């Protein structure tokens, strides 16, 4: 089961996640730049595997940056292609150090096909 599931073309709900350091403590995102990156899983569609869908999406921390909670709001077009995806958050801290979350593996995202036909 995917960490995030939505229908093709949907822009809600946003992706919200708490980021944890390798030692299990919450990441302090004070003055950090946060990128959301997502790509299609390899081999899903012949000839279209491993396509980077969102390279530098605008992500933001929510509430107090010391709580480590990040959010990505889907833009039109982000979810147009149904399938399985993997995603990660790339954080550049105020001292220039870069760390990618989750530290091991990826956030999994499933975009399920919409039923074809006219929309309301």
Host domain of residue 59:
4-112
pLDDT of residue 59: 73
pLDDT of residue 102: 94
Q: Find the CATH number of the domain harbouring 79.
A: 2.60.40.10
Q: Does residue 120 form part of some domain?
A: no
Task: Give long-range contacts, CB 8 A cutoff, 24+ apart: 52-58.
Answer: 53/78, 53/81, 53/85, 54/78, 54/87
Q: Does residue 30 form part of some domain?
A: yes
Q: Does residue 79 form part of some domain?
A: yes
What is the value of pTM for the model shown? 0.83
* Interatomic CA distance for residues 16 and 36, integer angstroms: 11
pLDDT of residue 58: 65
Q: Is 63 helix (H, G, I), strand (E, B) or coil?
A: coil
Overall domain count for the chain = 1
pLDDT at position 94 over 90: yes
Q: Does residue 117 form part of some domain?
A: no
Per-residue pLDDT of 4-52, as tens digits, reads 999 999 999 999 999 999 999 999 999 998 989 888 886 555 445 555 6
Per-residue pLDDT of 55-73, as tens digits, reads 656 677 777 889 999 999 8
3-state secondary structure 84-114: EEEEEEEEECCCCCEEEECCCCCEEEEEECC
Mean predicted confidence (pLDDT) in 82-109: 93
Q: Does residue 118 form part of some domain?
A: no
pLDDT of residue 42: 62
* Interatomic CA distance for residues 88 and 95, integer angstroms: 21
Nearest to 26 by CA among 57, 65, 63, 56: 65
């Amino acid at each position: 089961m995917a960490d995030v599931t939505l229908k093709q073309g949907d822009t809600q709900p946003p992706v919200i996640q708490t980021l944890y350091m390798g030692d299990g403590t919450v990441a302090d995102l004070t003055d950090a730049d946060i990128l959301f990156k997502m790509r299609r899983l390899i081999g899903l569609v012949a000839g279209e595997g491993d396509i980077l869908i969102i390279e530098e999406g605008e992500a933001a921390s929510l509430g107090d940056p010391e709580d480590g909670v990040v959010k990505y709001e889907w833009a039109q077009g982000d979810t147009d292609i149904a399938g399985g995806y993997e995603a990660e958050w790339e954080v550049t801290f105020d001292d220039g150090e870069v760390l990618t979350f989750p530290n091991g593996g990826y956030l999994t995202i499933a975009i399920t096909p919409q039923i074809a036909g006219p929309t309301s």
